[in-house]
Amino acid sequence: MGADPRRGDRAERARPVSVTGKVMAILNAFAQGGVRLNLSEICRRAGLPLATGHRLVGELVGGGFLERVPDGTYRIGTRLWRIGSQAPAVTGLRELALPHMEDLYEATHDNVQLGVLRDERVLIVERLRGTRSVPVVTQVGATLPLHTTGVGKVLLAFAPPRVLEKVLAGELPRHAARSITDPGELRRCVEQVRRSGYAVTRDEMTLGASSVGAPVRDGAGDVVAAVSLVSSTRSADLRRLLPPLTTAVRALSRDVAAHWPGGPDLFSAERNAGA
């Protein structure tokens, strides 16, 4: 059987043509996961020839939109962080959440994370980390998988059914020893999250780190975000972590209901693109 000639046409149409489209494709490569990417990975995700990607990435580094790490990889630059952090939806949610996150950190001295559903991943909107906290891979503005994180499991459990089914039908990569990679097991896990109102992970995203996450709701009762505590697996104890976490998300939910004009799909790229 011969090759489908339409396949090449579709691939060509998918390749960015304008300079603006190529730059957007490069920046969007980081939204697909991975805090640091090498040039080949950036070009593969962006659908660009290596020479074109090398030239444009160099210009983005010069402008401060990307940064080159000593090991030769690239990450989002501080100028892009500053611009992105000024988005009204992000700013409003962060401003409401920060006092509650600070109280939660003072009560536990563990990492505190605020995440929202960004299509089929978690977008980290804010995080607090102390000197005594367990090291984590999270950075503000980064995206993480839904199936291996406390915030992710909460968001997945209360996401629209189409999101859950798409995640279950896709690849479930193993990030640490106890990552859930079986769709049936993940489905049972999110059903338990719906019943209990919180999610727990142990050595699923990072070896030695565990988390407990809980939902943040708006005035209509929809889940618009999730907050999690990330602790050392050795010291992670639900009796210690869950009470202050549930107190914090309830207080934040009241503030969100009263003061935040967003909604559960505000951070969806498909919605923002008019899909």
**How many CB atoms within 10 Å of residue 258?**
10
Q: How far apart are CA 244 and CA 229, in angstroms?
A: 10
| Chain segment 25-39, per-residue pLDDT in tens | 998 888 765 568 999
Q: ∠ CA(113), CA(118), CA(120), 5° rounding?
A: 105
Q: What is the pLDDT along the chain (275 residues), one digit of tens a residue?
A: 444 434 433 333 356 678 999 999 998 888 765 568 999 999 999 999 999 999 999 999 999 889 898 889 998 886 776 676 666 667 788 899 999 999 999 999 999 999 999 878 888 889 998 766 777 767 777 788 999 999 999 999 999 999 999 999 988 999 888 999 999 999 999 999 999 999 999 999 988 889 999 999 999 999 999 999 998 888 778 888 999 999 999 999 999 999 887 666 656 544 343 33
* Within this chain, domains 19-84 and 88-259 share the same CATH topology: no
Cβ atoms 46, 69 nearer than 8 A: no
Cβ atoms 180, 192 nearer than 8 A: no
Listed residue (259, 256, 262, 222) closest to 87, CA to CA? 262
- Give the pLDDT of residue 83: 72
Topology at the third CATH level for domain 88-259:
Beta-Lactamase (3.30.450)
- Give the pLDDT of residue 142: 76
The CATH number corresponding to 19-84 among 1.10.10.10, 1.10.1200.10, 3.40.50.720, 3.30.1600.10 equals 1.10.10.10
All structural domains of the chain with their residue ranges: 19-84, 88-259
How far is C-alpha 131 from the chain's CA centre?
A: 23
- Number of H helices and number of E strands within the chain? 11, 8
Alpha-carbon separation of residue 13 from 26, 121, 227 (angstroms): 17, 26, 40
